[in-house]
Amino acid sequence: MSRFSQSILGPRVPEAEYRAHRWRYLTPTLVLMAARVLLLVSIFFPYWHMELEAPQYPNGLFLTAYVNHLTGDVREIDGLNHYIGMRPLGEAAAFERAASVWMIIAMFLLVEGAALVHTRWAVLLALPAVSFPLGFLGDLYFWMRSFGLNLNPEAPLSNSVKPFVPTVVGEGGIGQFKTYADLGTGYWLACVCAGLVVVGFYFHRRAYRPLTLARLNDAAQGATA
């Protein structure tokens, strides 16, 4: 292995060392494996839910957001939003929904690569997976704010509704409409993934940092010999 490759990938574990401390080196690999599997599985679960209460819909309207599509009473909610001048829900985060599955697959592969890198560079590979839950919330808030503050002034009820920021999590509403929003199973799986990545890097550092220090020490002794 070249010196450059070794500086990126880090030291390899000697066979005798691996046999003597098998679980020390298996633990970060297994934790990071669990993390990336949970992130991949999150694709198939909802990330966000919203219930809308309106006088004309006594049973409520429901909206569920996955990373790549919306389900529920989308058409009915769009009809109500039209009266206050809000754009159709399908126009929100169109790029994010189209690219989300590929982005999650990319993060899956990056975390897998991080398990093979035995230097601090591994942290950079896993950083997208750690920051993904916050990024999702930030993007959701951005689009909710954009839609709520840019109402069509020519809408039928534009004079009775002032621009507002819809509630991302919790109870909210405008006028006679009430909303209840919460985060879904998919989002929490992504959060558990982020937490496991952090835990995995604790064990990763504990396993491979001594090998890195030993290599640097050997290099320093060779230079002074």
Burial letters 121-146, b for 16+ CB under 10 A, else e = ebbebbebbbebbeebbeebeebbee
Tokens of 75: 């058409």
Better-predicted residue by pLDDT, 170 or 12: 170
**Average pLDDT, stretch 14-36?**
89
Q: Dihedral, CA atoms, 155, 159, 161, 162, nearest 10 degrees?
A: 110
Cα distance between residue 125 and residue 113, in whole Å: 7
**Helix orientation angle between 185-224 and 22-41, rounded to the nearest 10 degrees:** 150
Residue 215 has pLDDT above 70, yes or no: no
Confidence (pTM): 0.89
Q: Which residues pair with residue 172 across a beta bridge?
A: 179
Residue 121 has pLDDT above 90, yes or no: no
pLDDT for the residue 115: 86
Q: What is the pLDDT of residues 181-196, one digit of tens each?
A: 999 999 999 999 999 9
Q: Which residues pair with residue 174 across a beta bridge?
A: 177
Burial class for 104, CB neighbours closer than 10 Å (0-12, 13-18, 19+)? buried
Report the percentage of the chain scoring pLDDT > 90: 63
